[in-house]
Structure 1
Amino acid sequence: MTSYTDKGEKHEQGKFICFDHITFWVGNAKQAASFYCTKMGFEPLAYRGLETGSRDVVSHVVKQGKIIFVFSSALNPGNKEMGDHLVKHGDGVRDVAFTVEDCDYLVQKARERGATVIEDPHVVEDKSGRVKLAVVQTYGDTTHTLVEREGYSGLFLPEFHAPLSHDPLLDKLPISKLNFIDHVVGNQPDDEMVSVVEWYQKNLLFHRFWSVDDKQLQTEFSALRSIVVANYEETVKMPINEPAMGKRKSQIQEYVEYYGGPGVQHIAMNTSHIIDTIRNLKERGMEFMSVPSTYYQQLQEKLKLSKVKITEDLSILEELNILVDYDDNGYLLQIFTKPVQDRPTVFLEVIQRHNHQGFGAGNFKALFEAIEADQSARGNLTVLSPNGTSEQI
């Protein structure tokens, strides 16, 4: 496991501030938005569709804390771009948007370094003000939108209106207390991680923040490599994963096969109250990964030798299946949902940090073993031959 201290050169012009929003392309935006509201505790924020003058695409926007998700679907038959995306990937993340300063400069520099610009910087406006937007291509069919808000005071973005209705059920459900997006993970096919990391370093001037290799992240059956890139201020963190050769197909390889290539694997959301959050999310019916009780027995033994003191009650963490990772400076608590659609692709993470900026490397083995149990139930924990093909066992 490696942490990096070299952030590269600080640029006076152009800056990535934070995650702005994440856009999912889905088969039924209304139902997807409802799922995230009822199961994950989001609230409807904004809407764009036929009633607001949008004739081709409908979007339902939901929010919790500073986290904004947009669910978009095609309105008409024959929308080839969205239709092809849905057939290939299933419901998934199309775009990860960043709030930026000086969108023009960032796009100009990215283009000069070889990035593909999908949409040049352009202004959209309404009575609440102006927003400048641009879109660049990243891994696979995923894009990044750069959002320069210029004091915009509307609900979300121009052309979006208030939600058409309010679901009375939401007022009766326990509060989830998710605050902001901690990181967004992108899975790559084998041997493509480094080139994607270099794309972020070269085109967006991100730097390597943290990494682990397959010698550190492995189970009896599978392994992965991961490099985290971040902006200069380290407010945007993007782990990039790839599978490593093991005895069986890894969850990264399973993702790539079912998603039809590289894409966003999971979104980690930060909370200050993970015990309350997970209790409430489970009460809402959200499904999470579980780990064997031996994980907590081993954790208690290892903590006896550590300087760090976990303030939460370990028996409650065990009851809720919350994982603990730590070093001499602090610790983090994390838990992962099961996939949030039928394909074993996108899932969510809830994380709480106590002076620990890692990504749960100490938990990868326990997490992988839990995922492998689910993979086996799906018939996907298959034997890998040396050429990387898999056989059912």
Structure 2
Amino acid sequence: MAARACGLCHIAFHVPAGQPLARRLQRFFGFQPLAAREAGGWKQLALRSGDAVFLVNEGAGPGEPLYGVDLHHSVPSATNLCFDVEDPDAAARALAAQGCRVLVPPVRVQDAQGAATYTVLRSPAGNLSLTLLARASYRGRFLPGFRPVPSAPGPCWVSHVDHLTLACTSGSSPALRRWFHDYLGFRHLPLSPGEDPELGLEVAAGSGGGGLRLTALQSPMCSSVPTLVLAESLPGATSTQDQVEQFLARHRGPGLQHVGLYTPNILEATKEMVLAGGELLKPPEAYYQQPGKEGQIHAAGQQPSFLAQQGILIDGEKGKFLLQVFTKSLFAEDTFFLELIQRQGATGFGQDNIRALWQSVQEAAARKSQGA
């Protein structure tokens, strides 16, 4: 029996005291404070943009932060995905019987606004845990145990979480796919016609060898559950680490590499984020000079000069397009980052854009090594 996820409540992060993640989310990316809690050595702050909620757990208390666990990871990290389910108690019993490791047995939390019940699972994706939560009867602003935080109206550039990308060790995608299928009911989402779920989509980096293997998974229960994307490196002859290998080294193992945030207006969102001081990853200059790229941009109703100025990538054809831009890392360890994505009928993840991102990261690494 799988515990069917029917929504994403929040994504949780663990950071040391004084780490500026919460301030950066507010200042650069338009997230607004939602609710807070301080207890047991932990400062917990939930921030929201549209339906996307990030929970920043700051500190390192002797116990566990509410609605999660502290796995004592050595670097700041996105550590927990909290999914809405119908019955955490039944899910915990069934999953434990199937061999799933339950880190926190079902806990009921209650305050004046109602109650919620949750349980926490250990995933095979590095330090990432999964919280299964039932909160249908809760009337408060966030979750029981948190106090509402007043905030002034601010920008809302993001509407919801589009996808979650896990960086995996080479060869581990099939086992991860089966885990999410068996325990949470996720199913393979083909990114190309006739795609083998065991092999995923191979995106070759170019003549230098290497590339990425992507396997997408989605919940059949509810469209509000973001797509999970498993990313691993392909064997190759490149002399420098690719972005997945860099993440694994700097993060010290597998984990949540980035969150794709959906924006209904990527042009406005990127412009305002840059004005606020947010740093975006620029694609190679040659990206916008590729044969047919200018025509593709015009066909999507966009201007090449503005997309190039903001570093926005575009992919698609036949009236269906995808626009993407990536931030620089939110942590000094150069691991976790955000993606802004706008879909104009496209459902994939931009195979050509993945190559462009790959090339920009490789070029940046080369420049850094030459200047060292």
* TM-score bucket of the superposed structures, by smaller chain: 0.7 to 0.9
Match of 2:274 in 1: 282
Correspondence 1:218-297 to 2 at 5 A: 218-219=205-206, 220=208, 222-232=210-220, 233-234=222-223, 235-246=225-236, 247-248=238-239, 249-297=241-289
- Is the contact made by 1:187 and 1:255 (CA closer than 8 Å) also made in structure 2? yes
2:332 counterpart SS class: coil
What letter matches 2:318 in structure 1? D
Query: Number of aligned pairs?
Result: 355
Aligned residue in 2 for 1:332: 322
SS at match of 1:84: coil
1:368 aligns with 2:353: no
Q: CA–CA distance in 2 between the matches of 1:182 and 1:217?
A: 24
1:129 paired with 2:117, answer no
Find the aligned partners of 2:101 and 2:178 in 1 and give their Cα distance: 15
Q: Is 1:114 aligned to residue 102 of structure 2?
A: no
Alpha carbons of structure 1 residues 257 and 214: separation in structure 2 relative to 1, 3 Å: farther
Give the SS at the match of 1:255: helix
Q: Given the superposition, is the C-alpha separation of residues 104 and 144 from structure 1 closer, same or farther in structure 2, using an over 3 Å criterion?
A: same
Select the residue among 331, 338, 344 that pairs with 2:334.
344
1:199 is paired with a residue of what secondary structure? helix
How far is the alpha carbon of 1:302 from its aligned partner? 7.7
CA distance 1:58–1:369, change in 2 (3 Å):
same
Partner of 1:148: 134
Q: TM-score, normalised to structure 2's length?
A: 0.87
Corresponding residue SS for 2:103: strand
Question: What secondary structure, in the 3-state scheme, does the structure 2 residue paired with 1:147 have?
Answer: strand
Identity over the aligned pairs, expressed in percent? Answer: 24
**Is the 8 Å Cα contact of residues 322 and 350 (structure 2) preserved in structure 1?**
yes
Question: How much has 1:236 moved relative to structure 2?
Answer: 2.7
Supply the distance in 2 between the matched residues of 1:106 and 1:236 (Cα, whole angstroms). 20
Instruction: Compute the displacement of 1:178 (Å).
Output: 0.6
Counterpart Cα distance in 2 of 1:379 and 1:373: 10
Is 1:159 the counterpart of 2:145? The answer is yes
CA 1:198–1:299 in structure 2 vs 1: closer, same or farther (change >3 Å)?
farther
Unaligned runs of at least 5 residues, structure 2: 193-199
Provide the C-alpha distance between the structure 2 equivalents of 1:194 and 1:117, rounded to a whole number of angstroms.
22
Alignment-mate amino acid for residue 284 of structure 1: A
Code of the aligned partner of 1:323: L
Which amino acid is 1:191 matched to?
G
Give, in angstroms, the shift of residue 215 of structure 1: 4.8
Deviations 1:139-183 (A, max 9, x none): 1111011121122111211111123x76xxx77x7x251110001
User: d(CA) in 1 for partners of 2:22 and 2:131?
Assistant: 21
- Provide structure 1 residue ranges, at least 5 long, that are not aligned to the other structure: 1-10, 381-392
Change (3 A) 1:18 1:311: farther
Contact 1:258 1:344 in 2 (8 A): yes
* TM-score (norm. length: structure 1): 0.82
- The alignment status of 1:179 with 2:171, answered yes or no, reads no
Contact 1:323 1:333 in 2 (8 A): yes
One-letter amino acid of the counterpart of residue 280, structure 1: E
